[in-house]
Structures are given as structure tokens and as C-alpha cells.
């Protein structure tokens, strides 16, 4: 079997007496979309911050493409092709789309000048590739004028430009309308079609059911369900399971869908 793109083994994260994560086993394979769900405080953000190298686990192992890594941090995560879109902090809203895409990785022309023309062309190509259909916006449009879903698209375009193999999205659809959510998922499908993996957190189980190839449910720091989307026949099945988790029969036990 091919190595996982990234794998977490027996990860625990403590904040003082709070155990945000306990014995978590998690992996992402190439080209798959993993949906992470669970109640407030379940440990979802902590899990992706560990993937992104933003938070160091208290114990456990991180394995990248089959090789254990030590001193995992944000710079190493980026070097390994992992781009994270944190909520709110994702984009510079007063800046244009093209500036946001190239922020920190400007294309240099002769004599070190920015190659504005090349950047505009590349931004335009990326926007079209990812499925920006609106004729209203050009690479020079200010991000603050875009809708929430389109902003997520710009963040994903930037990740593609940086040749990400894995894009992590923390609640990309929170506070978005139905139409905006559909845009975000449209972008996610584009990203997956080019072989890139996505991990996203969503409070809405229907969203996860719609788009994820694999569903991972966290409950109070533990993974209580991991299911291939193909194993789930209806969203109600997943909802029922989540309700059971809220009143667990076997606290902390990992279950499978019967």
C-alpha cells in the first residue's frame, strides 16, 4: 500500500489539565477530501493545527509520505506541500486578488522587478482553473469586495500556486449562504480533480456528507468514527451515529457503522 501523504500516530495534546486530543490516529491520502466533524471543543481545530505545524503535540508521531518527522512546524509543513487556510486571517482584504495569491512568493522579473504582467496572467489562469465563473472580477479586484465563498476560492488558488498537495480548511463554510457554500465545494472539487487532498472542518453534517470521501468524527478529543463516504448510505445514518456519540454507550470507544 502506498504511504499516506500525512499520518498522525497516537497524538495527544494537553492544555494544562485539558486533554484537547487523546490517542488520535489520523491520515490523509493523495487526492482525497476528508471531512472533520464534531461538537464545539471536540478538538477539530487542534487536530488541523497539528497537521499544519502551528501547534506541537504533547506526544505522538507525525509521518510524512512514510517518513517520521521531528520538529514539525509551520515552515516544514509548507515545505512538505501543506497549505492551511485559517479562518479570518486567511487573506489581506484591502489587497487585490493577484496580490493575495502571490503574497510572499512574488514572481521576480529582470533586475528583481516584480513581473506584474506574468502575475496577472497566472492569477487569471488560476482563477479560471479553480472555477471562478463571475465575470465581475479580475485579478485586480479587491478581495474585500468578494463574497465569503469567493474569498475561500482565492485562498485555494493561492495554495495551488504554491503547489500544495494538501489544503486544510478550518470551517470554510461557516457564516456562508447556501449559494456561497456551493461555491466553496465547487472549488474543493476542482482542487481534488487536480490530485490535491483537502481536509476541512464543518459543523454541518450534510456538507460533509455531500463532499467528503472520508468522514472523521471527533468527540471530546477522540476519534469515534472514521468512515468512507461509500460506506454511508444516508446522511441520517451519520446523524444517528453523532446523536449516539452525544450519549455514548462505550465512552471513548471507537465504533464502526453496523
Residues that bind Mg ion (CB under 5 A): 45
Question: Cβ 36 to ligand ATP, closest distance in Å?
Answer: 8
Q: Which does 84 bind (CB under 5 to 8 A by kind): Mg ion, ligand ATP, none?
A: none
Q: Which does 38 bind (CB under 5 to 8 A by kind): ligand ATP, Mg ion, none?
A: ligand ATP
What's the distance, CA 40 to chain centroid? 18
Helix (H) or strand (E) holding 79: helix 74-79
**Residue 45 near ligand ATP by CB under 6 A:** yes
**Residue 190 near ligand ATP by CB under 6 A:** no
- Residue 132, number of CB atoms within 10 A of its CB: 24
Select the residue whose beta carbon is closest to Mg ion and give its number: 45
Q: Which does 60 bind (CB under 5 to 8 A by kind): Mg ion, ligand ATP, none?
A: none
Q: Would you say 45 or 197 has its CB closer to Mg ion?
A: 45
CB contact at 8 A, 28 and 206:
no
Which stretch, 39-47, 113-121, 139-147, 178-186, contacts ligand ATP (CB under 6 A)? 39-47
Q: Which does 20 bind (CB under 5 to 8 A by kind): ligand ATP, Mg ion, none?
A: ligand ATP
Question: Cβ 162 to Mg ion, closest distance in Å?
Answer: 24
Q: Which residues contact 104 (CB under 8 A, 6 or more apart)?
A: none
**Residue 46 near ligand ATP by CB under 6 A:** yes
State the alpha helices, DSSP H only, in 87-234: 97-102, 116-130, 148-161, 178-193, 205-211
**Residue 81 near ligand ATP by CB under 6 A:** no
Q: Would you say 45 or 181 has its CB closer to ligand ATP?
A: 45
Q: Would you say 137 or 200 has its CB closer to Mg ion?
A: 200
- Please, what is the Cα angle at 199 between 78 and 167, to 5 degrees? 35
Question: Cβ 224 to ligand ATP, closest distance in Å?
Answer: 13
Alpha-carbon separation of residue 151 from 16, 145, 202, 215 (angstroms): 36, 9, 17, 25
Q: Which does 33 bind (CB under 5 to 8 A by kind): Mg ion, ligand ATP, none?
A: none
**Residue 20 near ligand ATP by CB under 6 A:** yes
In eight-state DSSP terms, residue 204 is -
What's the rounded Cα separation, in Å, for the pair 102 and 93?
Answer: 14
**Residue 44 near ligand ATP by CB under 6 A:** yes
**Residue 42 near ligand ATP by CB under 6 A:** yes
**Residue 43 near ligand ATP by CB under 6 A:** yes
What's the rounded Cα separation, in Å, for the pair 45 and 13?
Answer: 12
Q: From 211, 146, 154, 132, select the one nearest 176 (Cα to Cα).
A: 146
Q: Would you say 55 or 130 has its CB closer to ligand ATP?
A: 55
What's the rounded Cα separation, in Å, for the pair 164 and 207?
Answer: 23
Query: 255: buried, middle or exposed (CB in 10 Å: 19+, 13-18, 0-12)?
Result: middle
Amino acid at each position: 500500500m502506498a504511504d499516506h501523504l500525512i499520518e498522525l500516530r497516537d497524538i495527544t495534546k494537553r492544555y494544562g489539565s485539558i486533554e484537547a486530543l487523546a490517542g488520535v490516529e489520523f491520515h490523509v491520502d493523495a487526492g482525497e477530501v476528508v471531512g472533520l466533524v464534531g461538537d464545539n471543543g471536540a478538538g477539530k481545530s487542534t487536530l488541523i493545527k497539528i497537521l499544519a505545524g502551528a501547534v506541537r503535540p504533547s506526544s505522538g508521531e507525525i509521518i510524512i509520505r512514510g517518513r517520521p518527522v521531528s520538529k514539525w512546524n509551520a515552515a516544514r509543513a509548507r515545505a512538505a506541500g501543506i497549505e492551511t487556510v485559517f479562518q479570518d486571517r486567511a487573506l489581506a482584504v484591502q489587497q487585490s486578488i493577484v496580490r493575495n495569491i502571490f503574497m510572499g512568493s512574488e514572481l521576480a522579473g529582470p533586475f528583481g522587478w516584480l513581473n506584474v504582467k506574468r502575475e496577472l496572467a497566472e492569477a487569471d489562469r488560476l482563477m479560471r482553473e479553480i472555477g471562478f465563473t463571475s465575470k465581475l472580477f479580475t485579478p485586480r479586484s479587491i478581495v474585500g469586495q468578494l463574497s465569503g465563498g469567493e474569498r475561500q476560492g482565492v485562498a485555494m488558488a493561492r495554495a495551488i500556486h504554491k503547489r500544495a498537495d494538501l489544503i486544510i480548511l478550518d470551517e470554510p463554510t461557516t457564516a456562508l449562504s447556501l449559494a456561497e457554500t456551493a461555491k466553496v465545494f465547487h472549488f474543493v472539487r476542482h482542487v481534488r480533480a487536480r490530485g490535491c487532498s483537502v481536509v476541512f472542518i464543518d459543523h454541518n453534517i450534510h456538507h460533509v456528507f455531500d463532499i467528503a470521501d472520508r468522514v472523521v468524527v471527533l468527540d471530546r478529543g477522540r476519534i469515534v468514527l472514521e468512515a468512507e463516504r461509500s460506506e454511508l448510505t444516508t446522511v441520517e445514518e451519520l446523524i444517528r451515529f453523532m446523536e449516539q456519540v452525544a450519549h455514548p454507550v462505550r465512552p471513548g470507544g471507537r465504533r464502526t457503522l453496523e
